Amino acid sequence: MAQMPSRPRSHVIEDASETAFRVLFGSDDWIIRRLTDDYGRDLEVELFEDGHATGILFGVQLKAIDKQPRKGRIGVAGIKASSLNYWRSLAYPVMVAAYSVPADQFFARWAHGYDWHHKSHTAVCTAECTNGPKTVTFNYGQIHRLTSDAIARLPEHLLFFRAAREGDLRNRPMPVHIDGESVDGHALASVEQQVRRLGETTGHVHVVGPDQLAVRLTYSRSTIRAVLPGDMRSATIHLHPGVYADPQGHVSLAADGLATLCQLFIGLKADSRAADLMITIAPHSLVLFLTDFPKVVGPELVEMGREDVVDVLAAEELRRRLLR
């Protein structure tokens, strides 16, 4: 028999990943559409309620992997930075779903949740951490398993993402839950009290308990991290050891927690009212003036038409230099 073309294994497992994904989202609550144009998204998924479209969407990039997870972990290397930038520019979140064909298991992370600028918030920033590498790696663990329980929580997470994307923090204060540990001797309770004072008096932020759906603001000795429900978007600020040791350090910690929240919303290209909060916290913040944070958010503020915030930060930095 004459030799005929064979089908590449990569095509086989790619088709297997799409079939498995459709089975996983097999209820009438989800409509899955195959995208014909290849811009780094394979599928578009829409939430339906009682048979009616909701307009609540998310994109999916499928990554089929022909190997077993190792100790419950799996990785996808070589994701183009250009693709990641494109996904993050979209109005809806994009799920990067890794499918282990031998294990018949899906793992999922959100492109919007990739903390692109986290390295640029350290004291020294190289050209690579400012501009970013050409490719990135998505690592998955057991917490990223895409199960039926995780899918059941998706609707509320998608609704929250859309509300955060709209960014109207004046008319609809954003719920925030605070957790973590003490920093430089300042108890988390005292920091939370200051977050309430700074955030709630402006009407932008409402601190809530752990049982409510909210942005999670987590303090540790080395970072402050703000995360949307479902890890759909995150922002991280890296701290300098000991800089909050001053008796008023809890006030600065609160301001810098809100700065992390501001970065989260500004990165979402949300309503510019999120930038108003930066003006309120500028006199109390340390991270705004000890790191490259302004270099990261500055261009985004200008793009939003908020040069006034950039001017406030520059004036505050000049005031502090004169006081030294």
pLDDT (tens digit, 9 = 90+) per residue, 129-140?
A: 455 578 888 999
pLDDT of residue 127: 46
**pTM of the predicted structure, to 2 decimals:** 0.83
Interval 215-273: pLDDT, tens: 999 999 999 999 999 999 888 888 888 999 999 999 999 999 999 998 888 877 766 67
Residue 121, pLDDT above cutoff 60: no
Closest by alpha carbon to 84, among 104, 58, 111, 102?
111
Q: Which amino acid is at 154?
A: L
CA–CA gap between residue 18 and residue 69 (Å, rounded): 19
Mean pLDDT of 93-98: 94
**pLDDT per residue over 279-324, tens digit each?**
999 999 998 888 777 777 888 888 888 899 999 989 998 998 888 7
CB 207 within 8 A of CB 194: no
Higher pLDDT, 271 or 144: 144
pLDDT tens, position by position, 31-77: 999 987 666 789 999 999 888 899 999 999 999 888 898 988 999 98
| Rounded average pLDDT over 166-181 | 82
Q: Please, which residues have CB within 8 angstroms of residue 266's CB and are 6 or more apart in sequence?
A: 274, 275, 297, 300, 301, 304
Average pLDDT, stretch 182-209? 92
Query: What is the predicted pLDDT for the residue at 62?
Result: 94
Res 122 pLDDT > 50: no
Task: Provide the strand spans (E) within the chain.
Answer: 30-34, 43-49, 52-65, 74-80, 94-100, 105-110, 135-140, 174-180, 205-207, 215-219, 223-227, 234-238
C-alpha to C-alpha distance for 133 and 69, rounded to whole angstroms? 26
Q: What is the reported pLDDT for 43?
A: 94
Residue 7: band (very low, low, confident or very high) from pLDDT cuts 50, 70, 90 = low
pLDDT score at 298: 82
Is-contact 93 47, C-beta < 8 A? no
CB 37 within 8 A of CB 71: no
Tens digits of residue pLDDT in 184-196: 999 999 999 999 9
Question: What pLDDT score does 180 carry?
Answer: 97
pLDDT of 172 strictly over 80: no
161: pLDDT strictly greater than 70? yes
Confidence of residue 98 (pLDDT cuts 50, 70, 90): very high
